[in-house]
Amino acid sequence: MKKIWAIFRKDLLIELRTKDSFNAMLFFGIVVLVIFSFALASVRDFIRSAAPGILWVAFAFSGTLGLNRMFAAEKENGCLQGLLMIPVDRGIIYLGKMLAATVFMLICEIIIFIFTLVFFNLTVWQEIPWLALIFLVGSLGFAAVGTLLSAIAVNTRMREVLLPLILFPVVLPILINAVEATNIVLNGGGYGALRLPLSIMSVFTIVFATISFLLFEHVLED
């Protein structure tokens, strides 16, 4: 529907102009990579096996940053209030925001991934389509529940601190399965084994996107 597109486009437009979120998310993700490089120096030889975990930690942290900003930016100037006054189904707002969050995350993930390839000297060519699929489903799932929880956290006293605390336990299935799937792709295991983690991630995404869509009106406030 064109309203979802309007919301999505607006977020994208602001982001293209200011690049506030992108810069923060990207920088933070890369910093996490660097820290892990130092922390895991003793296992440099086996870095390829640690790569899935490191990658998704970086994605999760950078994604959380992006989600935080998504609604925090709306609170400036009371834009959230403006959205609330519009006679539009809250679920529409949710979908627009969720898509924007997914796209932002995906773009950052691609760039962070490229840095990972460089830092850890990995080669991946035929694995790329599979990785793309995992990144996509993972980001969708993360954003599906993250958008709702971010809307909750933004109206509390401790918004930046609260979001990670309430997000990570809930989004654990995505993280576990994404790491598992990435591991299968990078470190061998037969693509048939991908079916289970990808299924769980897909179920998670569909279930939580639906629930969030239905319940969004109860949490979106200013």
Partner 1 sequence: MSEKMQHRVDGVLGAILILLMIFALYMAFLGAPTEKTMGDLQRIFYFHVGAAIAGMTAFSVNFVSSLAYVVRKKRRWDNLALSAAEIGVMFFVMVLVTGPIWAKPVWYVWWTWSPRLTLSLVLCLLYVAYLLIRKYIEDPERKAMVSAVFGIIAFIDVPLVWFSIRLWRDHHPSAMLETGGLSPAMRPAFFTCMAAFLVLLIYLLRRRFYLQSMRDDLEWLERQADNAR
Partner 2 sequence: MTNIIEVSKLAKHYGRTSALRDLNLSVAAGEFIALFGRNGAGKTTFLRILAGLSRPSSGTFRIQPDGGAKLQYVRGAIGYLSHHTSLYADLTALENLRFYAHLMDMPSDDGFLAERIATVGLAGREKEPVRNYSRGMQQRLAIARAFLHNPGILLLDEPFTGLDQAGSDFFCRYLMKAKSEGKICIMAIHDAGLGYELADRLIVIEKGVAALDVPRASLTLAEFQKKYKAITEN
Contacts of 167 (CB under 8 A, 6+ apart): 64, 67, 145, 146, 149, 150
Cα 207 to Cα 170: distance, rounded to the nearest angstrom: 13
Q: Which of 158, 188, 190, 192 binds partner 1 (CB under 8 A)?
A: 158
Cβ atoms of residues 178 and 105 within 8 Å:
no
3 binds partner 2 (CB under 8 A): yes
Residue 158 touches which of partner 2, partner 1, none (CB < 5 to 8 A by kind)?
partner 1
Query: Could you give the residue ranges of the DSSP H alpha helices within the chain?
Result: 2-18, 20-39, 47-75, 79-84, 90-120, 128-153, 159-187, 195-219
200 binds partner 1 (CB under 8 A): yes
Cβ atoms of residues 100 and 8 within 8 Å:
yes
2 binds partner 2 (CB under 8 A): yes
23 binds partner 2 (CB under 8 A): no
Number of chain positions touching partner 1 (CB under 8 A): 32
**Of the listed pieces 39-47, 79-87, 115-123, 132-140, which binds partner 2 according to CB under 8 A?**
79-87
Contacts of 212 (CB under 8 A, 6+ apart): 94, 98, 144, 145, 147, 148
**17 or 129, CB closer to partner 2?**
17
Cα 154 to Cα 158: distance, rounded to the nearest angstrom: 8
122 binds partner 1 (CB under 8 A): no
195 binds partner 1 (CB under 8 A): no
**Residues within the interface to partner 1 (CB under 8 A):** 145, 148-149, 152, 155-158, 162, 165-166, 168-170, 172-173, 176-177, 180, 196-197, 200, 203-204, 207-208, 211-212, 215, 218-219, 221
